[in-house]
Each structure stands twice: as structure tokens, then as C-alpha cells.
Amino acid sequence: MFTLPSLPFAPSALEPHISARTLEFHYGKHYQAYVDNLNKLIAGTELEAKSLEEIIIVTFNQPDKAAIFNNAAQAYNHNFYWQSLSSDSSKPSLELVAMINTSFGTWDAFVEQFTTLALSQFGSGWAWLIMEEGKLKIIKTANADTPIAHGQKPLLVVDVWEHAYYLDYQNRRADYIKNILTILLNWNFAEKNLAL
């Protein structure tokens, strides 16, 4: 049985950018439902003994396992998202800033490219900072899709499903993305993932 890891911050810690009310629904209802559905779907099967990452990899692109993949990947993506956020005003290390400059030109170009890509995800999905072939890249995934299904190494993620921002921002996805990129990203988590 997979259980819900606790939120790594108090539900009100990200206010006013992400409200406790949003987290009450996002963590307590949406995320809980993915975990509950996954547990129901794998009960009594050989997948019960596997890690979340293993379930994602073995069910990817298997049409008869799509529901398991979707719920497992959503559980993984949300767990990654909670850890990508912080109220600590963390900053990237000098080494990571140098990598951002090498990969995107400038910090402002990084923020602009990330925002543009996150806005271009039509419908539900995720915007990611990943490490691939020695460079930082920004990618988007649709619905539950996740970089680990494609052998990619994620560093940070922003949830761009409407349920992540609608109560606080309504249709203003750009404002939500900008506040995360400039205020709430947990660069310590990115550094930890980079070192893995």
C-alpha cells in the first residue's frame, strides 16, 4: 500500500501565492484520490511489491495498464511537485546558476522560456526542469506523463493542471507560474536531484 507522504510545509506556508484552501483540495482530495486509486488497482497483483518508479516504468505505453500508469505517475508527479515548492526563498547555488546561464543564456531567459513552455501546455499537464546529456532543459508533459517514463532526470516541476491554481488565480496561469518561478521554487531540492 502506498501512503501519502506529509506535505513538506504547513498548508498555509505558501500564502498568498498558493492558498491553504488550494492545498486542502489539491493535496487532500486530488492527490489522495490518485494514491487511493493506485492502491485499489494494484491490490492483489504483482505490482504491489514494486516501487512507484518501477510501476511507472513497467506500465508506460501499455494500453491495458493505462489507469495504473496514470494514477502512479500522478502520485509521483505530485510528490515531486510538493518538494519543488518551498517558502524558504531558496536560491540556486553558484554552480547551478552557471548551468542555467550555459543552458538558457541568462536567469531572465530561463524564467521566460519556462513560462512560455508552461503556458503552451494545452489542457492539463506539467512543466519540468530536467537534466539531459549534461544540459538543463525545460520540457512539458501532458496529463500524467512524467520524465522518468522516458529515462529523463527531473530536477523541479510545476503542476499546470487547473486544479493547481484555479481557486487562487482562476484563468491566470501565467501569474501562478511566475510566482512559483520567482518566489516558491525549492532550489535545495533541485540540487539534491542533480546530485543523484
Neighbours of 91 (CB within 10 A): 11
26: burial class by Cβ within 10 Å (0-12, 13-18, 19+)? buried
Neighbouring-strand partners of residue 154: 130
Give the residue, chosen from 159, 187, 190, 194, that forms a contact with Mn ion under the rule CB under 5 A.
159
Which lies closer to Mn ion via its Cβ, residue 13 or residue 58? 13
The footprint of Mn ion on this chain (CB under 5 A) covers a number of residues equal to: 3
34 interacts with Mn ion by CB under 5 A = no
Spell out the residues 6+ positions from residue 27 whose beta carbon is closer than 8 angstroms to its own: 4, 7, 11, 78, 82
161 interacts with Mn ion by CB under 5 A = yes
Q: Which of residues 35-74 bind Mn ion (CB under 5 A)?
A: none
Q: Which stretch binds Mn ion (CB under 5 A): 2-10, 61-69, 104-112, 161-169?
A: 161-169
Q: Which amino acid is at 38?
A: L
Query: Which residue bears the cell 488550494?
Result: 22
Residues at the binding site are 26, 78, 159, 163
Residues at the binding site for Mn(2+) are 26, 78, 159, 163
Residues interacting with Mn ion, by CB under 5 A? 159, 161, 164
